[in-house]
Homo-oligomer: A and B are copies of this chain.
Amino acid sequence: MLYLVGLGLADEKDITVRGLEVVKSASRVYLEAYTSILLVDKEKLEAFYGRSVIVADRELVETGSDEILYGATDVDVAFLVVGDPFGATTHTDLVLRARELGIQTKSIPNASIMSGIGCTGLQLYNFGQTVSMVFFTETWKPSSYYDRVKENASLGLHTLVLLDIKVKEQSLENMARGRKIYEPPRYMTVAQCASQMLETEEERKEGVYGPDSLAIGAARVGAPDQELVAGTLKELAEVDMGRPLHSLVLLGKRAHDLEKDYILQFAVNKETFNTAWKQGYGAS
């Protein structure tokens, strides 16, 4: 059996009781560690589980899935995923491959950022499609996310923006020379995301949002030091929310008063928040 086990969002204790049972009894345990990260390192997980864990990087999952699945018709293999196994990154390809090999699969759900973002007090009902923001470079500033945000905004819906992480990436030079030297991990911050969003609006000029549009920055959702900040994009572009992971929500105009009451308590500046709110939010 292949078990896909969700680990939740923050640390080793966010696994479910059922998930922990699977981890303790499986023959092999893999940890998917390239699309998201827990806020604790592998050693802490191993100490908590009382067993060793194999880190599965992108290469292993995408090209070595048969190695992960080896023998799983007879023994139990656990594949651990930060968040939910079918959350922001789905592992349907691994499940489909397992089925081809006649291996049964089972999934142990857990909190995902896609629902955990409800901690902002915004109604999950009022979210449109989710988008991803990648690190811009001098020459590559993809703005397809802007079209999705525009669609959501036209309906007055909130947009969850998931922020890029770069783990075990090679520089172009090292890749070209075949050197397996990896860059230090990078995690996008709320401030970077907000300023990239403003950069795209500057370029596209379709008025989907602007410096005075309201958004919420969320850092370390579900962790003891979770932090939420509400403000205009201009304000959020200056905010320091500490260590990763960060996410951002662009507020939809259909936001209602109960949502406002909740988010106002963590506004960077209640005055600018209220001024921005009056520019068209709360219309239902």
Contact = CB atoms under 8 A, between A and B. Distances in A.
Interface of A: 6, 8-9, 12-18, 20-21, 84-88, 90, 92-93, 95-96, 99, 106-112, 114-116, 118-121, 123-132, 151, 155, 157, 221-222, 224, 258, 261-262, 265
Given A14-B18, A109-B9, A258-B93, A127 B129 contact: yes
A256 to B, nearest CB: 11
Main secondary structure of the interface of A (DSSP, over half): mixed
B119 A124 contact: no
Contact of A17 (B17, B88, B151): B17
Contacts of A262: 92, 95-96
Given A112-B115, A114-B114, A90 B123 contact: yes
Contact of A265 (B14, B99, B108, B111): B99
A16 B222 CA distance: 12
A124 B87 CA distance: 7
Given A8-B109, A129-B127, A157-B129, A116 B84 contact: yes
A15 B16 contact: yes
A115 B90 contact: no
Given A85-B118, A88-B125, 13 more contacts: A15-B17, A16-B16, A16-B110, A84-B111, A86-B115, A90-B121, A106-B224, A108-B222, A112-B115, A124-B130, A125-B131, A126-B129, A128-B128
A129 B124 CA distance: 8
Contacts of A88: 124-125
Nearest to A21: B13
Contacts of A123: 90
A150 B135 CA distance: 34
A161 to B, nearest CB: 11
A111 B90 CA distance: 15
19 contacts: A14-B16, A15-B16, A84-B115, A84-B116, A84-B118, A86-B118, A87-B115, A87-B118, A87-B124, A90-B118, A90-B121, A106-B224, A109-B119, A114-B124, A124-B130, A125-B129, A125-B130, A127-B129, A128-B155
**Residue of A87, A119, A120 with most partner-chain B CB within 10 A:** A119
A9 B84 CA distance: 13
A151 to B, nearest CB: 5
